[in-house]
Each structure stands twice: as C-alpha cells, then as structure tokens.
Amino acid sequence: MIMADSVDLTQKEIQRYSRHLIMPEVGLEGQKKLKAAKILCIGAGGLGSPLTMYLAAAGVGTLGIVEFDVVDFSNLQRQILHDSDRVGTPKLKSAMDRLKSINPEVKLTGYETRLTSENALDIFKNYDMIIDGTDNFPTRYLVNDACVLLKKPNVYGSIFRFEGQASVFDAEKGPCYRCLYPEPPPPGLVPSCAEGGVLGILPGIIGTIQATEAIKIIIGKGETLVGRLLLFNALKMQFREMKLHKDDHCPICGKHPTITKLIDYEAFCGLTRGETSQVEEKKMDASVEITATELQELWKKNPKLKVVDVRNPEEYEICRIEGTTFIPLSEIGSRLGELNKNDQIVLHCHHGMRSMRALEILKNAGFQNLKSLSGGIDAWSVEIDPSVPRY
Amino acid sequence: MSVEIQIPVALARYTGNQESLKLSGASVEEAIRNLTSQFPSLKNHLLDKKGEIRPFVNIYVNDQDIRHGKQMKTALKSGDVVTIVPSIAGGNK
Ligand SMILES: [Zn+2]
C-alpha cells in the first residue's frame, strides 16, 4: 500500500499533472501516491519503451530500469525510447536520457546488468512493484519467483507477431506466473520475436496496458488484471479474457511451496524436464557445423553440393544465397523426397539454430552427409558476400 | 457437437496458418484428437506422450482453464470455443 502523505506536490508538478488532479479517480491523493511510488521495469526495449515513457509522464516518483543491451537498427521499428542516432550505444543511457526529457521530476535509477538469481532480490527489494518487459523464459520465471518471495506484484506482458498477453501476478491476492505456466517450453520449440517477428505497434499496446495496470495498483482504483489473462489479437482487433486460478500445488505460491529461494533459471529452462520433443532432446553437435568460409571452399570443390535454405518464405524474399534449394523448416519433414540421401547437404537458416533442427530431422530420416552453416546467412553476408542484406 | 478451436499464431504454422477451425467433439480430448489427426505435427506441441497437456500450454473452454476442471475430459457443448494459449516470452528484443 503506497501512502500519499509522505510527499507533497510542487506548483510546477500541480501544473504538469492537472489533468490527473481534476479527475476524481486520481486527484491530489492519487497523484501523491504516484509520486511516492517506486516501480522497477525489467527491459527498456519493446514493452519497456511505451510503459516507461507513460509512467514517467504520469509522474511515478521513482523508476528503476534494468537493461544491459545496446540499441540495434532492428530495434527502431518498435522501441520508441530510442532514436536512430542512438544505434550502437547502450540502451540504458538512451532510455534514461529520453525519460529525463519527458519528465525531469522523475527519479531514475539504472541497472546496467543482466538480471540474475544473485542480484534480483537485492534490486527488487527497493521497489513497490516490478514490470516484466523481458523476452526470455529464464528471466520471466526469475522475475516471478523473486516477486512471490518478496510479496510484490508482477505486472506481466508478453508478445509474439501480432498477439499479446497481459496479466497482473500477485501471489498475495491471486495466481502467479507458475500457476499459469508450471514449466517453460523446451528451448527452440516456441519461436522468439527475433525468429518469428513482431508487429511494431504490438508492444505499444501491451506495454501501455502494463503501465495502466501499474498506475491502477498505485492509486488503488479500478479492477486490476489479478486472476485474469488478457489476450489481444491485433489482426482480429480482438481482446479476450480468460479466468486464472491459483494452483494449490504451485511450487512457489501453493500450499506447500518447494521453491523457497531463487534457483538456477537457465538450467530450469534449458534442461529437459519431463517430456520434450525428440529433436530438442538431442544435444547440439558442434562437429556438424561449418563456417561460411568453409562452405564457400566446399562448394567450389563440389559444385553438386546441395545447399538447403530452411528459413521462412518471408525471409527468403528479403535475401538468399544464389544456388540454394529452398525448403522451410516447417515443411522439411514432409518434403524429404526432394532430397537425395547420397548428396552432400549443407543446411542454412538466419543464424544457425533452425538449420541444426533441420539437420536432426534429416538425420533421423537416414541422411548422413549433413552439415549446418554456423551463423547462417548472416555469417555468409559478413564473411563472403556483403551484397546479401543483413536483417 | 460442433465447436470452434482457436489456434494461437505461434502454432498456426502447424495448421496451415488457420487460426480458427470448426470441429466436432463431445469432450476436449475428442476435439483435440480430431484436430491433431488433421494436423499431426501439432500434436507434439500440445500433448506429451501420455496424452496430457504440456505444462507450457493452456487450453481454455470459453474462459475456463481445463487444468482446473476435468482436464481433457471436460465436456463440450455445441458452440463452445476451445482456445489454445501457449506460453510466449517476447517483449524486449
Ligand atoms: Zn503460483
């Protein structure tokens, strides 16, 4: 519970927040609560951009940001915190500069570090709530567990292509993230945004929903998403709502918790727990990988070398290596007849992950002379042919 | 018993990019069986070898999570909407 009487508003602040102050749902008391509030945002990327900008503008007194990445050209399509001239510079500095100029009254604290089991509790304990704007399963489980252990709300949002999810996990009042998803998918089973793409506006919608929930929790008004999962589909322009239940058997917020301190989340998400797909169970075998330079030499020596591009059609439209055969990973299992078991085959994708999965599929089908291009077409562009656009 | 199954975009590549399908089934188990016999590569993403829902996938009948009800035995009536919601993690990069 955030108290309003610990702070006062200056005349300048009264002017700045006047549209809040004149509405009964916020008012002077609500605005003071916002000023007294301390919010930590994990990530200053897709979700972090809109939500930190709105929270700063709204007058949240203290904003903490955890981010260690560098601004990349491919971020600019949706991460509106960062300007084009910030490409190549630290995201944290870029974010803090932008937020400062939006509202100099806000106290900003930056943590230029990866969130880990070692530092999470120490960082979280200074804040009233955490907003999860990360992009990977280990960090999402880490954020959840740290929030449950510290009894703090976790404002959740997640996006893929043109679909988003949002909720508020507060184990004191309802379910936590583990109640919803007891275990993460095995690595590689669910494509990431880097692999599957994301509509640039989508994090704007989900991130502002997260910011809205954060503000409602602070001022204590309205009905939050505790116990509800909001699903958004931008193409259908449809919101749906699912009921969430606290799981009595939840390992961290259930009746008999087995997780009482932070664990190794990389191992939790990377190790094969229970059932996983056959492909994922196989360990990556580095000996089947070749570099772009090695591929070029091999191709010269063996002009009949079969080089198979397993990317998606949309990626094939962007760029391709001349002379390759195009079979998307999702189709390769049903198009084995187009390949000859006696051929030497090199598989490639964008960065070298999906080609390894394709290699496993071919291996299981009895193909033997297989290689995967390490670093994918991106490495080919860097090492061999710069006329191939990088994306 | 005609029900609608909603497929998330993350799994639509296994259903020929169809996000909404009309199927028959008196229970979730039957509807999912009919779905995966049409799209066999989807099965491994939804169910484990014992035929139970994988822990990173939730199946809702209308707005209720079947994990907190009769699981795969949850009965369906005509017009029900079965929604598959997998865990997604994107948001920062
Ligand atoms: Zn829980």
A271 touches chain B (CB under 8 A): no
B68 touches chain A (CB under 8 A): yes
Query: How many other CB atoms sit within 10 Å of the CB of residue B39?
Result: 16
Query: So what's the pLDDT on residue B91?
Result: 84
**Is the pLDDT reported for residue A277 higher than 50?**
no
Query: So what's the pLDDT on residue A193?
Result: 72
The single-letter DSSP state of residue A343 is S
Q: Which residues of A203-220 are buried (b: 16+ CB within 10 A; e: fewer)?
A: bbbbbbbbbbbbbbbbbe
Above pLDDT 70, what percent of chain A?
A: 96
> How far apart (Å, rounded) are the C-alpha atoms in residues A382 and A78?
25
In whole numbers, what is the pLDDT of chain B averaged over residues?
A: 92
Instruction: Check: CB of residue A347 under 8 Å from CB of residue A358.
Output: yes
A78 touches chain B (CB under 8 A): no
Query: So what's the pLDDT on residue B90?
Result: 87
CATH number of the A37-268 domain: 3.40.50.720
Beta carbons of B91 and A194 less than 8 Å apart: no
Mean pLDDT of A330-335: 89
Residues in chain B within 8 Å Cβ distance of A44: 92
Q: How far is the CA of B81 from the centre of ligand 1 (A)?
A: 26
Query: So what's the pLDDT on residue A284?
Result: 53
> How far apart (Å, rounded) are the C-alpha atoms in residues A70 and A132?
19
Q: How far is the CA of A259 from the centre of ligand 1 (A)?
A: 11
**Is the pLDDT reported for residue A283 higher than 80?**
no
Two structure tokens written together for A179: 């109640």
Q: How far is the CA of A173 from the centre of ligand 1 (A)?
A: 11
> How far apart (Å, rounded) are the C-alpha atoms in residues A307 and A384?
15
CB neighbour list of residue A56: distance below 8 Å, 6 or more residues apart = A63, A99, A102, A103, A106, A108
The single-letter DSSP state of residue A336 is G
User: Which CATH number among 3.40.50.720, 3.40.630.10, 3.90.550.10, 3.40.250.10 corresponds to the domain A277-383?
Assistant: 3.40.250.10
Instruction: Check: CB of residue A329 under 8 Å from CB of residue A310.
Output: yes
List, for residues A207-263, the tens digit of each pLDDT value.
999 999 999 999 999 999 999 999 999 999 999 999 999 999 999 999 999 999 999
Angstroms from A258 CA to nearest CA on chain B: 17
Two structure tokens written together for B31: 């509807």
| Domain map (residue ranges) of chain A | 37-268, 277-383
Does A102 or A194 have the greater pLDDT score? A102
**Is the pLDDT reported for residue A274 higher than 50?**
no
**Is the pLDDT reported for residue A8 higher than 50?**
yes
**Is the pLDDT reported for residue A272 higher than 60?**
no
Which residue, among A149, A110, A153, has the nearest Cα to A129 in the 3D structure? A153
Two structure tokens written together for A82: 């960062």
CB neighbour list of residue A125: distance below 8 Å, 6 or more residues apart = A150
The single-letter DSSP state of residue B53 is B
**Is the pLDDT reported for residue A281 higher than 60?**
no
pTM over 0.90: no
- The count of structural domains within chain B is 1
Which residue, among A317, A362, A364, A315, has the nearest Cα to A343 in the 3D structure? A362
A43 touches chain B (CB under 8 A): yes
3-state helix, strand, coil in chain A (%, to 5): 40, 15, 45
Angstroms from A257 CA to nearest CA on chain B: 18
**Confidence at B31, pLDDT banded by 50, 70, 90:** very high
Asked if residue B76 belongs to a domain, the reply is: yes
**Confidence at A144, pLDDT banded by 50, 70, 90:** very high
Per DSSP, what are the bridge partners of residue A306?
A345
Instruction: Check: CB of residue A168 under 8 Å from CB of residue A217.
Output: yes
- Partner A, chain B 7-46, Cβ-Cβ below 8 Å: 8-10, 13-14, 41, 44-45
Two structure tokens written together for A37: 């509030």
Q: Which of A69, A243, A274 sits opposite B48 (nearest CB)?
A: A274
Q: Which of B13, B44, B90 sits opposite A198 (nearest CB)?
A: B90
Query: So what's the pLDDT on residue A285?
Result: 63
Least confident among A72-86, A235-249, A257-271, A301-315? A257-271
Mean pLDDT of A35-57: 98
Instruction: Check: CB of residue A201 under 8 Å from CB of residue A78.
Output: yes
**Is the pLDDT reported for residue A64 higher than 90?**
yes
**Which residues of A are catalytic, by number?**
193, 349
Which residue, among B27, B35, B91, has the nearest Cα to B45 in the 3D structure? B35
Asked if residue B91 belongs to a domain, the reply is: no
Which residue, among A51, A339, A290, B47, has the nearest Cα to B37 in the 3D structure? B47
Q: Residue B58: give the domain boundaries.
A: 2-86
Query: So what's the pLDDT on residue A195?
Result: 75
**Is the pLDDT reported for residue A383 higher than 70?**
yes
Q: What angle do CA A349, B84, B78 make, to 5 degrees?
A: 140
Query: Per this entry, what is the length of chain B?
Result: 93
Least confident among A55-69, A147-161, A177-191, B63-77? A177-191
**Is the pLDDT reported for residue A192 higher than 60?**
yes
Query: So what's the pLDDT on residue A1?
Result: 75
A274 touches chain B (CB under 8 A): yes
Distance in angstroms between the alpha carbons of the first and the last residue of chain A: 46
* CATH code of residue B56: 3.10.20.30
- Three-class DSSP category at B26: coil
Query: So what's the pLDDT on residue A72?
Result: 96
Angstroms from B24 CA to nearest CA on chain A: 23
Site of tokens 């330079």: A293
**Is the pLDDT reported for residue A27 higher than 80?**
yes
Mean pLDDT of A354-367: 93
A160 touches chain B (CB under 8 A): yes
Instruction: Check: CB of residue A355 under 8 Å from CB of residue A372.
Output: yes
Bridging pattern class, strands B64-65 and B57-61: antiparallel
Q: How far is the CA of A17 from the centre of ligand 1 (A)?
A: 37
**Is the pLDDT reported for residue A197 higher than 90?**
no
Angstroms from A32 CA to nearest CA on chain B: 30
**Is the pLDDT reported for residue A40 higher than 90?**
yes
Asked if residue B69 belongs to a domain, the reply is: yes
**Confidence at A273, pLDDT banded by 50, 70, 90:** very low
B54 touches chain A (CB under 8 A): yes
Report H helices in chain A: 11-16, 18-21, 27-36, 48-58, 91-102, 120-124, 137-150, 177-180, 193-196, 202-219, 265-270, 278-281, 292-301, 313-318, 329-332, 354-364, 376-383
Mean pLDDT of A325-336: 92
Does A118 or A194 have the greater pLDDT score? A118
Q: Which of B63, B87, B93 sits opposite A185 (nearest CB)?
A: B87
Asked if residue B78 belongs to a domain, the reply is: yes
> How far apart (Å, rounded) are the C-alpha atoms in residues A195 and A312?
10
Q: Which of A46, A160, A180 sits opposite B92 (nearest CB)?
A: A46
Asked if residue B50 belongs to a domain, the reply is: yes
Query: So what's the pLDDT on residue A3?
Result: 84
